[in-house]
Amino acid sequence: MVSPSRFSPGEVAALERFTRSNRGTLLLAPDRAPVQEAEAWPKLLSRASRSVEIASSPWDIAPPTDKRPFFFLQLRPRDVFSPRAYGPKGNLGPVSAITMNGVRILLLGVVLALLAAVSLLVLARPSGGRTGAPPSGGGRVFFAALGIGYMAVQLALHQRLSIILGHPTATLSLVVAAMLSGTGLGSALAGHRRLRSSPGTVLALPLLAAAGLGLAFPYLGWLSDAPTLAWTAAASGLLSIGTGVLLGVALPTGVRVFTSEERGVAEAWAINGAFSVAGSALAALTGLTVGSHGLALLALPCYAIAWATAVWQRRLAGSRPEPVASPVTRTA
């Protein structure tokens, strides 16, 4: 029990009588020494020593926040690989052991998804009637980075907006539907003549969107200040649609930069889809360990890599000399 003001002696005495009558133990109270089980608690309750005690604890006892609300995860990420977490003599406790098993399964899913995606990136070859050249190495990196970056943004918005709206399943439907609608609109806008002529500028839009989202993320809580939940949901939907529009210009623009052949387009879609699956698992693990803001920031290097590879590809294409026709000699 905590209070903004000091407990009075009468309140402490009443609580102690209640504890004895229920065969309990008063672990800590003002003006008395704590029992053995609560010897570390005074340092945790003291503002001067609290941060040191939290950092030195073998458990992750930092208070949960809106950006990292997983109060049940009292193990640090490094504990996944700690010997104390394994075997019949592990001292995690039943609840933490169940949580850690879930984290291990998620980690295994990340590894398997990444292995499958990388295998497709390196080894896959199209079959059937597809013709033309596949994307270059830079093109493969481009489409892989888009898949991971897009899922990082989507899951970061879902994780943060779920706290604001208070309905995780409904928030998932809202974010996915709104972002996909925005992505489709962005893809359509990328086909406009003026945008087609400036791919470097167009591909800077997703990068700016990721950077802007990273900067604005600490202030998303202001959405809860709307008059009603419906207004908050509408604002969240508009945010997701706008983000989807800016991210949606990337894939069709990248297809035009890196390939125009049937085979190249097929591989681009395959690589992007595979890394979107891997990115969803990676984003779930990242959001669990570093929180929704850290997950949103993960998208920034992904879109920076995509933009850099596209600009480099354009420069390479511009530096190639035009083919010169071979001279023809007429003989009598």
Dump pLDDT digits (tens) for 306-315: 999 988 887 7
The predicted pLDDT at position 331 comes to 40
CA nearest to 280, candidates 155, 175, 130:
155
CA 311 from chain center: how many Å? 26
**Domains parsed from the chain with CATH numbers:** 137-313 (1.20.1250.20)
The residue with tokens 């003026």 is 194
Cα dihedral sign for 288, 153, 312, 278?
positive
CA-based radius of gyration for the chain: 27
The predicted pLDDT at position 213 comes to 93
Query: One digit per residue, pLDDT tens: the chain, 332 residues?
Result: 777 788 888 888 898 889 889 988 888 888 778 888 888 788 888 888 888 888 888 777 888 888 888 777 777 766 666 655 554 445 556 666 677 777 778 888 888 888 888 887 777 655 554 455 556 778 889 999 999 999 999 999 999 999 999 888 999 999 999 999 999 999 999 888 888 778 888 999 999 999 999 999 999 989 988 999 999 999 999 999 999 999 999 999 998 888 777 777 888 888 889 899 998 988 888 888 888 999 999 999 999 999 999 888 877 665 444 444 444 444 43
The secondary element (H helix, E strand) that includes residue 273 is helix 262-319
CA 46 from chain center: how many Å? 34
Q: How far apart are CA 303 and CA 282, in angstroms?
A: 16
Q: How far apart are CA 57 and CA 55, in angstroms?
A: 6
Buried b (16+ CB within 10 A) or exposed e, 150-171: bbbbbbbbbbbbbbbbeeeeeb
CA 110 from chain center: how many Å? 13
